[in-house]
Structure 1
Amino acid sequence: MGAVIRILSWKWLVICLLHVLLLWNTILAQIRYTIPEELKEGSVVGNIAKDLGLGISEIARRKLRIASETGKEYFSVDLGKGELLVNERIDREILCAQSVTCILPLEAIIENPLQLYRVEIQILDINDNAPVFQKNENILNVAESTAPGARFRLESAKDSDVGSNSLRTYMLSKNEHFALDIKTVSDGTKVPELVLEKSFDREKQPNHRLVLTAIDGGNPARSGTAEIDVRVLDINDNAPVCEKPLYTVEIAENTPPGAVIVTVKAADRDAGANSEIRYSVAPHTSEIPHDLISVDSVTGELKITKEIDYEAASSIRFDVVATDTGIPPMEGICSIHLDILDINDNKPEIILKSLNSPVLEDAPVGTVVALISAKDLDAGDNGKVELALKSDLPFTLKPAISNHYALVTDKTLDREQHSVYTIQIVAADSGSPRLTSEKQITVDILDVNDNPPRFTQQFYTVYVKENRVPGSILCSVSATDLDTGENAKISYSIIESKFQGISVSSYVYINSDNGSIFSMHSFDYEKKKIFQFQVEAKDHGSPSLSNNATVHVFILDQNDNAPAIIYPSAVMGSVSHQRMSRTAKAGHLVTKVTAVDADSGHNAWMFYRLVEATDMSLFSINLHTGEVRTKRAVYEQDESSQRLVVEIKDNGEPVQSSTVTVDILLEDGIQEPVADIRQKNSDITKGSKITFYLIISLASVSVLSLLTFVILLVKCARNSRGRTSCCIKRSDSDDYKNPNRNLQIQLNTDGPIKYVEVLGGDMLSQSQSFGSCLSPLSEFSDFTLVKPSSTIDFKELNVLDASLPDSAWTFESQQLVELYKEIYSLPLSIEALLR
């Protein structure tokens, strides 16, 4: 019972995860385009239909539209081509000011079904703004007594561009009194300063004209200039010095006008009128501080003149000039940095991202009804918004990403009880105090459907060749529905099931509109020969009705496997090394190449050919057996090292082949093995009695095995009644107690050994078998004993399937018989028998 509960719990967990993934896929998709600013109207940004995976016909049918959070329609969609177009001129400086990264968020919304895609347009800056000085002419009063090294801060130029196009450096016109020094402050602003290198003589020249040039980093570079009128004055040689070079102040955006935010203090080491200081906002300060801040010229108090809005500017930076009353007057600069603190002064806004659409009353729990987003202009917790439903209805809100929600059903709907729902959505932020707003959504419920689809046939049979290109069509299924309209429209799908532990959806794909079934990948006959699956036809009615049909797929073999060489085996290296005596005669068996082919039928027939040899006149290879023999006797002038390259081809179309290289070392003093029993009968009589008895014993066993095999074949042929198969299931009229007793012939391999087995007896009980083995064990042996065996485990043998059609047996049985004939036609060498 506990195991059942655990299984149900896992099923519910999987269902919940699928709902979350579907909801995420509904809203999470995101596309980004990158364009430069100032593009002409009608310029193509990208093919949004293609990027969203939509066809041209779908974008109009599914009502693709673009929405902007800014409310200004900079872009539009060409419904004829699916292209995203520039609707009006885009000025990056207006949209993003000095922000390095300028992203314009858009939302692509499509209906039926509802989907929301987030589209980001990155606006790249172009060098369309030159550096600008607030004042084209500045007056600089310098006392003639000013010592070299004195510094005079100049007005900084402003460049609306960002990045490499922004202000890079300054240049000063050539003069003998000043040098230009450029400082970079903490926020990255470059500030020019004049450094006095040579004292003035007012009597010689009371005025000097300098030109300051600001250059940006664009290509080509842009520049702006300002003239500096240096007036050389007498007396007052100490400039005021601020207590702090930088005043950093935090103020809330709801600070009332008239409040003192900071008091600037400066000191002057002079005495009398030369030490009296007056404060003012620096003339090169932007307009915003002039409108928001006032400075008491005597006390240095900075006051708010009107309400500050965090949403307009989160920080303000400006300078206050401290000027003494000496002659000439001297100045000191105090920098002010105001950080604006956000307060919760903006109500959250609820935005309906999708159009109202009716919902079927049998819609499953979790069906998406509408897409909703919320936004709040405040920052931090003040800008975090949560949505909730005001009344108890069969709907709920599922959060997605960044204040986006999906309104989904969470209970079964009943149109007979409620045909229309009015949903009240409440948005509340996390500020203190919390601010809220409300919005109503109306949802209509629809009805009915009573006829299930009917397939034209309940079973479909498909024959497909292995290795076909993935995506090719296998067959088409068809169903009809007696209903009309939407209730008669049918969608096809594959019913999820598993074949050999693998989901059937990984094998095939069905076109949901027309029932065409396609392969998902190329099939391999050697791995699977047949599988089946079910197709479901489902109408579009409410509630939806369905019906099933079964499709049987048979895989047909193709020649897609090259012969695999089992001798010489891979563990011996890529080259086989053999030794042979120089006294070898014509017809001497040098070695034997053995290979197998994973294909079936004619595709598995193999032929051996000698493609390369050090001396083609010395060796030959048997076309069918792979035996390498000498064509003539070895001459003294023959090279000691002979290399052979053997190619093995199968009988398929197209032909597959493999090659193996054999190195043969010709040596003196190696006793030549007896190559053929028929050629060496006189040598056998000269051997010992033990050798003679061994030969007699082995020959007797071989003859006995051959006779047994022939008898079984005759018995098989008589009982098969003309069938080409050598695996015959006895009929119910046989005297055997078990109707599954049969006779089978099978080809097995064990490492480099290929052997044929004849099996007889009960498939489920102890059986008897006779095996004949072909083994390339050494350079001289080519045949091993025919051995009887018993108690064969049929689970470990690849027994021929008696359930297949007769045509599938024909080639297998013929191949086995031909193989056995080939085995017994091989010459037996004396050394092979001795071993």
Structure 2
Amino acid sequence: MRITSTSCICPVLFCLCFVQRCYGAAHHGSIKVTRNQTKHTEGETEVHHRPKRGWVWNQFFVLEEHMGPDPQYVGKLHSNSDKGDGSVKYILTGEGAGTIFIIDDTTGDIHSTKSLDREQKTHYVLHAQAIDRRTNKPLEPESEFIIKVQDINDNAPKFTDGPYIVTVPEMSEMGTSVLQVTATDADDPTYGNSARVVYSILQGQPYFSVDPKTGVIRTALHNMDREAREHYSVVIQAKDMAGQVGGLSGSTTVNITLTDVNDNPPRFPQKHYQLYVPESAQVGSAVGKIKANDADTGSNADMKYTIINGDGAGVFSISTDKETREGILSLKKPLNYEKKKSYTLNIEGANTHLDFRFSHLGPFKDVTMLKIIVGDVDEPPLFTMPSYVMDVYENAKIGTAVGTVTAQDPDTANSLVRYFIDHNTEEDRYFTIDANTGTIKTAKTFDREETPWYNITVAASEIDNPGLVSHVPVGVRILDVNDNPPELAREYDIVVCENAKPGQVIQTITATDKDNSANGARFHFSLDEGPSLNPNFTLRDNEDNTASILTRRRKYSRTTQDIYYLLVLISDGGVPPLSSSSTLTIRVCACERDGRVRTCHAEAFLSSAGLSTGALIAILLCVVILLVFSLAIVVLFITLRRSKKEPLIISEEDVRENVVTYDDEGGGEEDTEAFDITALRNPSAAEELKYRRDVRPEVKPAHRHHPSSSLDSVDVQEFIKQRLAEADLDPSVPPYDSLQTYAYEGHRSEAGSISSLDSVTTHSDQDYNYLGDWGPEFKKLAELYGEIESERTT
């Protein structure tokens, strides 16, 4: 089968088609396919050997973007088996078969029905086959061939990254590279000149140029000045077909900005300036501005201003505002129109950043002269001193002069000045001031010990212009006078031991004085002993504002005297001296050998024992519980005794509650309700129980015995009085109120008792079952008590 290429349909491609056909005829021979055909006859088989057949074909081409009215002819398929009688059928399969490419199944002609774009698809792979139309059997093997889309120049160059923004320093050398631009062409770079691009500059000359092959943009002038022109817009064109006529083109814009370099020195617009400053301007305030211009920008225009000379260099200072690049003129010292009316300054402005490449364009600084005119203003009065300190004694009379302030009008007019006190605080009301002379006087009396210092503010204004006011602080110090007597620094708890020795220091005292050291630093101590010396204690002045209390005798007794009072006189060293007296209390205490206090009284003993408050409360609670329990037992016994119905036994030596003993035989039972006295023991028992059992005396006193004959004639009242007197004089009892219990009913009757108490026996018919489990125990106690009573009665 032979595949015949399409005829050239345009003059431009005629030569190419001719070359292709010649090349195909010379180099693409037939591909022959061997095929044996066997013919059967009767009796024998005849084998015919036919020559090999194959596809005859060459490269297919189809032009892109075909816009003709008829389908574009691509080529022709032809098999050697085709006799032209229509018995061969050609079939086309593969990419685009039946849609883009169609074939005439009888003639084998292939046409393209659609316009193709090489930039979308460069070639198509198809398969051709020839079959017998009658038998549908293949006459030739299937063959694969390619239809290649032939490129035409239908794509213009494009700059994919534009537009461009780029910078280049000003004053750059000619030919300095700025930027490289690149344009792309979608056409086939391997075929013709459709994708061969050439660059040219359409706008931006003569400042810039472009390389036609590489697209590199360069400066075309020497020392381009940013201050003359800063921005440039350069248009670059890219054209295909190597720039020939008929080629397609594309363009882009390159925005070029010249960056600044420090190639311009600063310049003051004027060589002479004049500035007006009023004399009332405050020190440290800004009084004016000055500026030097610089054509550069950014850090290249940074400026520093300096006062290089002039008679006002010590009065004014200049600084630089970094944002506005202005020189700020400030006042260093106050101005006085009456003393100096003008100043002259030479001010220099210089760049802070220099580029040595352009140093030949310098110097990068400039100088101007500034004349400052001082303006006269009406100023407030001026005090002769910035502050005043005055003194006045405490307790001074109202109206006492403290001091004088002075102010003057600094202006030439020299107006009169009036003074007054600003009553802003309570302290200002303690003083008055003479409006004409400025003399300050007291308005109240002062106590240095209460307020030692006062701060007031005095104002002064001109009579002609009261609105102009100046102020000055005045401190008034209150001086001390000796008006406070000395006194003890604190309350002293002085203790002397019973075993103290003569001359022993038992306490060191000191004193304080509300007056200052000039009137109270030296204290003198002495005793107010009256006409006779104190036999117990003395005082020694240590001459260091302290004094010592010393003992004068050996041994002190708490039983004889447990507290001593000592009157101390204290005087200060003021003029005139003042004195006061204080009473010291000295307690006598029992001490250990090493001087530690053992006890002074019951409370001190408990404290010295080291018992805490919680322990004392616990002990007291236990005692209360025991007392309550004991009282309950006693009440229980009394109740049990009273519940018995048998007669009571009266003892000759002792009685119980609500039992009365008579010495006569009259009265009987009717007299039993005549008395109700507390149970009394006989005198012998009272003598034995005279000492308290709850306090153990240090030395056990000797027992005193009295004849029975002396007690027989004493009645109950006298007996009690006697025992009370003995208790008051007894040193063994505690030094606080106590309960003394005695049991004495008087001398017994010779006739004996008529009471039924003698009938008490050790046996009792009392029923104790109501006590439950405790009944037997109390019954035993009652029997034991009865036996004791019987033995005592006997």
Q: TM-score, normalised by structure 2?
A: 0.30
The structure that has the greater radius of gyration is 2
Q: TM-score, normalised by structure 1?
A: 0.29
